[in-house]
């Protein structure tokens, strides 16, 4: 009897122990899954506040970090919303970093254009959309009918502009000047080449400090072009550009019409080209072909940014310029910036004026990724702002970027051009004479500081409401 019991017991132990273990494991896994789901849900609700009055979600994180409210791009109330907002809505719902904190921009890599196409076909099949579309001004219509296309082929590109190191160079390039220009603006390009846009080693402004070896950098240059409607002027324009490219090796041209509403293509195509070709370049200056840049001061300024203790993290989202907050779209029909509210409703996100901005190479690559989930927008600098906010990144305002020029007669004061990094709207002739002046006054003005050069992330509500 005792033996029998003993046997039974060992059988029971053999059979039941694994069963018990399995059961315990099952319970454990279920509990873990429940806990995880719960905490995920709690996290995503805890992070979001809803501003009932203005129909906006508010990112709490950003508001506590920077001391002001940052309205997000995702509006809840969708009634009577603009065409672009409607297009972007479903995409944002999927990728909103506030609603879905775990979504990373990097994870969009595999879906080239998929979400954009999907939302476009959904929205254009909506009942009232055909009517809205037909009533767009012609320019907007033209934009909207091409806004899904961004893989325009490269016609001319420079050979090895960003190549890791030139033969005699000691270090990686510091900055790439990427200048928006058009086929006929040869004079502007030539003036830039001879003045502030010279390539190679450029010394910084503080030549006299002890660590002078550090305060300089290698500069690269590329001009960004589409194709101009040459009309009756015929085909030789592109031959000339080809010759220019052979001579200077700084032409990057794509096969799209170079119109104002196509300028955003220069951003997204530059990001794509940059990501493939310029891995080692630390900064990009993107600007118009009528800006004047104080290159030595800019080099010093950027070197200082790299030396800051936090540089490793800040460079992930570094974009500096003349920051405009809370701008509203231009609703004046005759303006070249005109955006009807059937196309876009609401404020623009904070953005840096497109005359000239500087951002890090790291950010350029992140912008390239995130832009795959942001529908093109006809105003290029606003589009960059739209991508920035989707990276949860804020542009840095620096008053030494004068995209709206000096105020009054400030520029006639001695040393005035030594206090700035960039100023917008100068003719090619002015570029040449300003550059000569800068050199002539160098010794005298060398130590003049930049105009209130403390970088600030400006509270949105303190900024004037500008309509362009």
Ligand X SMILES: *[C@@H]1O[C@H](CO)[C@@H](O)[C@H](O)[C@H]1NC(C)=O
Interface segment toward ligand X; rule CB under 6 A; list 68-76, 140-148, 237-245, 297-305: 140-148
Cβ-based nearer residue to ligand X, 108 or 264: 264
Cβ-based nearer residue to ligand X, 60 or 142: 142
Should residue 198 be labelled a site residue for ligand X when binding is judged by CB under 6 A?
no
CB of 160 to ligand X, least distance (A): 28
Q: Which of 259, 326, 430, 441 binds ligand X (CB under 6 A)?
A: 259
Should residue 417 be labelled a site residue for ligand X when binding is judged by CB under 6 A?
no
CB of 29 to ligand X, least distance (A): 54
Should residue 261 be labelled a site residue for ligand X when binding is judged by CB under 6 A?
yes
Q: Which of 195, 262, 300, 416 binds ligand X (CB under 6 A)?
A: 262
Should residue 283 be labelled a site residue for ligand X when binding is judged by CB under 6 A?
no
Q: Which of 84, 143, 218, 292 binds ligand X (CB under 6 A)?
A: 143
Please tell me the count of residues contacting ligand X according to CB under 6 A.
Answer: 9
CB of 270 to ligand X, least distance (A): 16
Residues in a beta bridge with 51: 56
Interface segment toward ligand X; rule CB under 6 A; list 50-58, 257-265, 329-337, 460-468: 257-265
Cβ-based nearer residue to ligand X, 216 or 325: 216
Interface segment toward ligand X; rule CB under 6 A; list 127-135, 141-149, 290-298, 363-371: 141-149
Please, which of residues 237-256 interact with ligand X by CB under 6 A? 256
CB of 289 to ligand X, least distance (A): 19
Long-range contacts of 410-415 (CB under 8 A, 24+ apart): 414/441, 414/444, 414/445, 415/441, 415/444, 415/445, 415/448
Binding site residues, ligand X, CB under 6 A: 142-143, 146, 208, 256-257, 259, 261-262
């Amino acid at each position: 009897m005792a033996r029998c019991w003993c046997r039974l017991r060992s059988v029971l132990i053999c059979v039941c122990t694994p069963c018990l273990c399995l059961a315990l494991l099952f319970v454990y896994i279920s509990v873990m899954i429940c806990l995880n789901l719960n905490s995920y849900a709690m996290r995503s609700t805890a992070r979001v506040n809803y501003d009932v009055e203005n129909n906006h979600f508010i990112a709490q994180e950003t508001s506590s970090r920077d001391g002001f409210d940052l309205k997000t791009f995702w509006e809840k109330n969708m009634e009577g919303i603009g065409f672009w907002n409607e297009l972007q809505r479903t995409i944002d719902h999927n990728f909103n970093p506030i609603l879905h904190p775990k979504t990373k921009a990097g994870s969009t890599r595999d879906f080239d254009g998929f979400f954009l196409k999907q939302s476009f076909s959904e929205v254009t099949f909506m009942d009232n959309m055909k009517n809205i579309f037909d009533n767009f001004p012609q320019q907007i219509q033209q934009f909207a009918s091409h806004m899904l296309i961004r893989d325009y082929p490269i016609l001319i590109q420079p050979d090895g502009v960003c190549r890791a190191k030139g033969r005699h160079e000691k270090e990686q390039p510091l900055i790439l000047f990427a200048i928006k220009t058009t086929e006929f603006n040869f004079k502007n390009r030539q003036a830039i080449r001879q003045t502030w846009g010279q390539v190679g080693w450029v010394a910084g402004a503080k030549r006299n400090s002890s660590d002078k070896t550090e305060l300089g950098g290698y500069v690269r240059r590329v001009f960004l072009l589409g194709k101009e409607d040459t009309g009756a002027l015929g085909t030789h324009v592109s031959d000339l550009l080809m010759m220019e490219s052979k001579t200077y090796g700084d032409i990057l041209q794509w096969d799209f019409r170079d119109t104002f509403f196509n300028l955003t293509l220069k951003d997204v195509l530059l990001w794509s080209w940059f990501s493939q070709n310029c891995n080692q370049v630390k900064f990009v200056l993107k600007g118009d072909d009528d800006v004047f840049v104080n290159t030595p001061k800019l080099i010093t300024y950027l070197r200082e940014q790299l030396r800051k203790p936090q540089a490793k993290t800040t460079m992930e989202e570094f974009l500096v310029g003349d920051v405009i907050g809370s701008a509203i779209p231009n609703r004046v029909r005759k303006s070249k910036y005109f955006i009807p509210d059937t196309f876009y409703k609401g404020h623009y996100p904070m953005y840096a004026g497109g005359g000239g901005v500087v951002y890090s190479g790291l950010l350029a690559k992140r912008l390239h990724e995130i832009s795959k989930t942001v529908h093109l927008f006809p105003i290029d600098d606003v589009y960059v702002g739209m991508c920035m906010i989707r990276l949860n990144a804020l542009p840095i305002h620096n008053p030494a970027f004068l995209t709206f020029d000096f105020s009054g007669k400030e520029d006639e004061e001695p040393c005035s051009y030594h206090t700035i990094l960039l100023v917008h709207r100068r003719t090619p002739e002015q570029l040449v004479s300003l550059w000569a002046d800068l050199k002539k006054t160098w010794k005298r003005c060398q130590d003049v500081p930049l105009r209130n050069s403390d970088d600030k992330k400006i509270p949105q509500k303190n900024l004037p409401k500008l309509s362009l």
